[in-house]
């Protein structure tokens, strides 16, 4: 007859797996001191798990528990840059645009330099009236929380409000 525990152990060693439960998990009612190991918990990283066997009197099978040590990986916050239009005054913006001497573009011989002059003048005025604001979003939504689910949730909230 083959030694099946030795064959199983050689297969586990070949796959770099560790068996956590080493105590018997089922006791026979007729023979009190004899038990068999019928539960298998395998892992390739034993340091990340804690396992235990709890003997209970209600059943001939012991309760086993396996806990994975560690915590969820925190995702970094999402940083977005937005143009802040909260205090934007269209009249002041148009006055500042009119105050720039756009005739100077005709005097610039190079197209690249003329484009640089235009962008520099326009973006300076735009940043003055609608500055960029850095927004940090923490606890971003989960991938399973889709836009359809958000719309459904808002629809339910509207129906339930008085």
Residues 96 and 146 in one domain: yes
Residues 86 and 120 in one domain: yes
Residue that terminates a domain, selected from 68, 91, 109 = 68
Predicted local confidence at residue 39, as pLDDT = 85
Residue 129's domain comprises 78-154
Among 46, 93, 47, 48, which Cα is nearest to 69's?
Answer: 48
The reply to whether 86 falls in a domain is yes
Residues 90 and 63 in one domain: no
Question: For the stretch 42-57, what's the b/e string if a residue is b when 16 or more beta carbons lie within 10 angstroms of its beta carbon?
Answer: ebeeeeeeebebeeee
Tally the domains of the chain. Answer: 2
Residues 114 and 134 in one domain: yes
Cα 40 to Cα 22: distance, rounded to the nearest angstrom? 9
Residue that terminates a domain, selected from 20, 49, 68 = 68
User: Which of 35-44, 54-63, 123-132 is modeled with the greatest confidence?
Assistant: 123-132
Residues 59 and 117 in one domain: no
Predicted local confidence at residue 70, as pLDDT = 81
Mean pLDDT of the chain: 84
Q: What is the pLDDT of residues 76-117, one digit of tens each?
A: 888 888 888 888 899 999 999 999 988 888 898 999 999 999
Residues 138 and 103 in one domain: yes
Residue that terminates a domain, selected from 47, 68, 89 = 68
**Stated pTM of the model:** 0.42
């Amino acid at each position: 007859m083959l030694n099946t525990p030795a064959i199983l152990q050689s297969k586990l060693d070949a796959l770099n797996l560790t068996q956590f439960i080493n105590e018997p998990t089922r006791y026979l009612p007729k023979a009190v001191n004899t038990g068999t190991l019928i539960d298998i918990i395998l892992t390739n990283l034993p340091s990340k798990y804690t396992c235990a066997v709890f003997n209970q009197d209600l059943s001939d099978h012991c309760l086993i528990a396996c806990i994975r040590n560690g915590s969820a990986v925190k995702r970094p916050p999402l940083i977005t840059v937005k143009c802040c239009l909260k205090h934007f005054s269209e009249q002041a913006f148009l006055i500042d645009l009119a105050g720039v001497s756009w005739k100077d573009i005709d005097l610039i011989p190079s197209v690249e330099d003329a484009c640089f002059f235009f962008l520099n003048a326009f973006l300076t005025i735009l940043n003055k009236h609608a500055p960029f604001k850095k927004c940090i979003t923490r606890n971003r939504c989960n991938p399973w929380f889709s836009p359809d689910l958000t719309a459904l949730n808002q629809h339910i909230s509207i129906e339930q409000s008085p």
